[in-house]
Amino acid sequence: MKIGVPKEIKDQEGRVAMTPAGARRFAEAGHTVCIESGAGSGSGFADQEYLDAGARLGDAAAAWDNELVLKVKEPLESEYGYLQGQMLFTYLHLAGVTRTLTEVLLRQGTTAIAYETLEDSAGRLLLLAPMSAIAGNMAASIGAYYLARTQGGKGVQLGEVLGVRHGRVLIVGDGTVAQHAAQSAYGLGAQVAVAGLDPAKGETLRGKTGKDLEFFLSTPEAVAAHVKEADLVIGAVLRHGARADFVVTEAMVKTLAPGSVVVDVSIDQGGCIATSRPTSHSHPTYQLHGVTHYCVTNMPGAYPRTSTLALTEAVLPYALRLASRGLQAMKGDEGFGKALNACQGWITYKPVAEALGLMERYRAYSDL
């Protein structure tokens, strides 16, 4: 199969969907790979490394003009013209954005396969997990940075000073993002509370951090009480492939003290904090109700080398299967099949159709 890897063009996005080692694996399996020149530079991979691995170089048009296109982030408007019915394997987050991209994918007959909805037999999101872990690690350190008075924050350090923990961090969610954010915040020396739905995860977190980490069941009343006392609120809610729920309301945000910080990692799926709106690495924050909001939609892009290595290791086995068998690779693998979001002009992942109000455009892939 002919495979293309375009350069990512999202703001300050340095990740790439294939390493030179991955290109070699495809070449050894008999596939041809076209990498857009410079696609790997942000992650520290030179064009010559791809050539040495058996790939060829081209411009953006050449990278997109293939049977299977591998990316990291969703196509932006300037890339819509390249969508010509090929298979596209990338993060799409269709439920968290406007209808426009979905409508383009349907109109162009793109076979859209989303990293974030692929599951294993246990229901785990294997291709989302590495980026969730990195974003969770980032959330605590970013929040700590913007809490500094010099950055417009309230001047509270997340840290242990002579045995006393300073700074209150509330993490809303109990998945991978939340677990890594909790470990990072606790490691900095903050007081950490986690709002979740699974008490067993709370016990696991205490075992990985410390017995004084607080875990409580996420109810509106409990979340509101903890928000009011927090210095940093981290949004880490995830619904598989669907839009995130607003767990933290605008009224709750208004109770935060001036100079507090919100980091909404859920923003790719629409955000779980009602006052969140997408931001970029170039313009990462805004102020609302006296609170600094950080809602960058490609957080792991800030650490492209680490992110690329973690992501491509997870994606490679599935990408190789697609290259060898096309959509037949999903037969007998229900979890892989859940990655298919659009095909033959139809939305094939129900949570996306529901989130966008496009159920009339939904059809199960088995019915096509």
pLDDT in tens, 38-54: 999 999 999 999 999 99
User: Per CATH, the architecture of 132-297 is what?
Assistant: 3-Layer(aba) Sandwich (3.40)
Mean pLDDT value across the chain: 95
- pLDDT score, position 243: 80
Quote the CA–CA distance of 44 and 58 in Å, as a whole number: 18
How far does the chain reach from its first CA to its final CA, in angstroms? 23
Residues with a catalytic annotation lie at 93, 268
Which CATH code of 3.30.70.930, 3.40.50.261, 3.40.50.720, 3.30.930.10 fits the domain covering 2-125+303-367? 3.40.50.720
pLDDT in tens, 124-158: 999 999 999 999 999 999 999 999 999 999 999 99
Answer yes or no: same fold for 2-125+303-367 and 132-297: yes
Of 341, 93, 27, 125, give the one whose Cα is nearest residue 5: 27
Query: Is residue 272 within 8 Å of residue 236, measured between CB atoms?
Result: yes
pLDDT in tens, 65-114: 999 999 999 999 999 999 999 999 999 999 886 789 999 999 999 999 99
DSSP state at residue 75: P
Task: Indicate the angle between helix axes 129-146 and 304-325, nearest 10 degrees.
Answer: 160
Token reading at 344: 């033959």
Quote the CA–CA distance of 325 and 157 in Å, as a whole number: 53
Question: Structural domain boundaries of the chain?
Answer: 2-125+303-367, 132-297
- pLDDT score, position 184: 96
- pLDDT score, position 275: 98
Q: What string of H, E and C letters represents the secondary structure of 139-192? A: HHHHHHHHCCHHHCCCCCCCEEECCEEECEEEEECCCHHHHHHHHHHHHHCCEE
- Work out the angle at residue 334's Cα, subtended by the Cα atoms of residues 328 and 336, and round it to the nearest 5 degrees: 65
Confidence of residue 352 (pLDDT cuts 50, 70, 90): very high
pTM above 0.85, yes or no: yes
Q: Is the pLDDT of residue 240 over 90?
A: no
Q: Give the number of other CB atoms < 10 A from CB of residue 99.
A: 14
- pLDDT score, position 338: 95
What's the rounded mean pLDDT across residues 203-215?
91
What's the rounded mean pLDDT across residues 30-35?
98
Query: Is residue 147 within 8 Å of residue 259, measured between CB atoms?
Result: yes
- pLDDT score, position 172: 97
CA 116 to chain centre: 7
Query: Is residue 66 within 8 Å of residue 34, measured between CB atoms?
Result: yes
